[in-house]
Amino acid sequence: MNTMRIMILGGDGFCGWATALHLSSLGHEITIVDNLSRRRIDHDLGVESLTPIASLEQRVERWYMEMGERIEIVTINVARDIKALHQLISHTNPGAIIHFAQQRAAPFSMKTMRHKMYTIDNNVNATHNVLAILADLKSDTHLIHLGTMGVYGYGSTDGEILPEGYLQVVPTRGPRSDDIFGPPREIRYPTNPGSVYHMTKCLDAEMFAYYAKNDHLRITDLHQGIVWGTMTDPMLMHEELINRFDYDGDYGTVLNRFIVQGAIGYPLTVHGTGGQTRAFIHIRDSVRCIELALENPPQRGERVKIFNQMTETHRVYDLARHCADLTGADMQMVDNPRNEAAANTLNVDNHSFIDLGLKPTLLNDALINEVHDIVDRFKSRIDTTKIPCTSRWVK
């Protein structure tokens, strides 16, 4: 595809940094917009990335030295600095904006009342500011947003397949076919968020639909599964390009956490029965999906494009069992901090990315070992007191 100026909001984070390097390596001109809030949250929580990450300035300087590509950095709080953000978007007129600028951890969003409020205030205003600015500029810019599979909830127990955003339904007064009383209509798949964080992604969907309708903004919403792995190819060039790796009870995600726990002989903490089935995607496929979304934007006036960005589903217990077997670590069943069903099935339609050419990177021991090696290299940096999830959905 033609290369273009791409603005990456939240480009210093786990997915954002990987995306910046991937798209820069494809020749796109990248502007990272970030207020370094993720690093500040680490500081507030008293944790650090397992991997020693360089400063954002060092990162892009190193990238320039390795690749000869300049990544621009702009320090803006997307949720607050309206004037600066408007000027930046207006002046650079990017072909695409990729929006990661949100608080992204469900347990963090549920820690206290203040964490709930921060997550809502930050995430809703960040998304809406971008939308209102693009509408003000009558912009053709393609907005790609990182959402979550969690907007659908995890309650599917009847084997139904979660579609890519939309569902056709008929209104009915009862279970019989002659109870139907209106024509079929397409709806956004009903939301059922499992945390305040997940809820913000449902609020985003409502705002996207409105601005696509009223202002004909071009929007793609990626409903992403749990990302695992840590490195993408460009990061292998130099240690200063290394990605962050979260293992703590707030920001660590389930499969990566199991690998960390296995690597240091910490009992693998399975929440509840482990009967939860979740969708997963490797970080390498995540950045590839964003590339594919970039190449296939909706037109002005088209509805929001929604893709399920995941490659496989696994039961949490099975993942823990597998990681425990690989590493010889024990498993420990602990109270589930979340307010959710003890077990669920999950069937996800992900045909859009497959049709566009995604070759799924499925879970395998070589990849698990790759993550394991990273952990092993930096395991002296682990603070085991930060491993348990202390957030509680209902106090």
Q: Is 202 in the site for a copy of itself (CB under 8 A)?
A: yes
Active site residue 386: no
Active site residue 197: yes
Task: Tell me the one-letter amino acid at 69.
Answer: E
Q: Which stretch binds a copy of itself (CB under 8 A): 9-17, 199-207, 219-227, 297-305?
A: 199-207
From the list 111, 201, 305, 386, the catalytic residue is 201
Task: Tell me the one-letter amino acid at 24.
Answer: S
46 versus 190: smaller Cβ distance to a copy of itself: 190
119 versus 286: smaller Cβ distance to a copy of itself: 119
CA max distance for the chain: 69
Taking each helix axis from N to C end, the angle separating 365-378 and 254-264, rounded to the nearest 10 degrees, works out to 60
Task: Kindly tell me which residue out of 68, 178, 328, 380 binds a copy of itself, with binding defined by CB under 8 A.
Answer: 178
Q: Tokens 């970080």 appear where?
A: 283
Q: Is 128 in the site for a copy of itself (CB under 8 A)?
A: yes
What's the gap between Cα 284 and its chain centre? 13
Q: Which stretch binds a copy of itself (CB under 8 A): 43-51, 190-198, 248-256, 286-294?
A: 190-198
From the list 197, 211, 266, 317, the catalytic residue is 197
Site for a copy of itself in 146-165 (CB under 8 A): 158, 160
What's the gap between Cα 323 and its chain centre? 23
Q: Which stretch binds a copy of itself (CB under 8 A): 167-175, 247-255, 267-275, 382-390?
A: 167-175
Q: How far is the CB of 136 from a copy of itself (least distance, A)?
A: 4
Distance CA(332)–CA(368), nearest Å, equals 20
62 versus 116: smaller Cβ distance to a copy of itself: 116
Q: Is 84 in the site for a copy of itself (CB under 8 A)?
A: no
Name every residue whose Cβ is closer than 8 Å to that of residue 182 and which is 6 or more positions away in sequence: 170, 171
From the list 51, 141, 148, 311, the catalytic residue is 148
Q: Quick one: which of 331, 327, 230, 320 has its CA closest to 275?
A: 320
Q: Is 1 in the site for a copy of itself (CB under 8 A)?
A: no
Distances, alpha carbon 375 to alpha carbons 212, 229, 287, 322, 363, in Å: 43, 11, 22, 17, 17
Angle at 236 between CA 230 and CA 241, to 5 degrees: 75
First to last CA, the chain: 51
Distance CA(257)–CA(219), nearest Å, equals 33
* Active site residue ranges: 148, 197, 201
Binding site for a copy of itself (CB under 8 A): 82, 86, 112-114, 116-117, 120-121, 124-125, 128-129, 132-133, 135-136, 138, 158, 160, 167-175, 177-178, 180-185, 187-188, 190-191, 193, 196, 199, 202-203, 206-207, 209-210, 214-215, 339, 393-395
